[in-house]
């Protein structure tokens, strides 16, 4: 286990600035995979189109908090509520770190 951790940290540091040590390269890969649905509405470029807000480059904690709010039905929007309720906590964290990498200057 410790050996795997060190390996992950090494990969992470080699490719980009990590959001936090707990977020490793495989989380970003999962996030990218899960994002296929999201980017049919939200633009990967961060552009705002047709009332769909930009979700790129957000601090991970903020992204997670918003997704949790949709999941708990504390935030209005049927589509986002339905999508968020189909995601696990890990899925949301992975999406948060992936969309964070799409922030300004990193496109």
Separation of alpha carbons 107 and 103, rounded Å: 7
Site for ligand HEC contains 59 (CB under 6 A):
no
Site for ligand HEC contains 78 (CB under 6 A):
no
Separation of alpha carbons 49 and 11, rounded Å: 35
Smallest separation (angstroms) from ligand HEC to the CB of 89: 13
Q: Site residues for ligand HEC, window 7-36 (CB under 6 A)?
A: none
Q: Show the binding pattern over residues 35-54: x = contacts ligand HEC (CB under 6 A), - = does not.
A: --xx-xxx--------xxx-
Residues 6 or more apart in contact with residue 42 via CB below 8 angstroms: 52, 53, 54, 55, 56
């Amino acid at each position: 286990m410790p050996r795997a951790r060190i390996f992950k940290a090494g990969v992470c540091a080699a490719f980009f600035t990590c959001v936090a040590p707990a977020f490793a390269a495989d989380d970003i890969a999962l996030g990218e995979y899960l994002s296929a649905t999201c980017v049919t509405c939200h633009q990967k470029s961060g552009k705002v189109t047709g009332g769909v807000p930009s979700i790129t480059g957000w601090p991970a904690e903020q992204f997670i908090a918003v997704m949790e709010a949709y999941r708990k039905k504390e935030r209005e929007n049927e589509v986002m509520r339905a999508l968020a309720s189909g995601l696990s906590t890990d899925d949301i964290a992975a999406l948060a770190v992936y969309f964070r990498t799409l922030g300004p200057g990193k496109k």
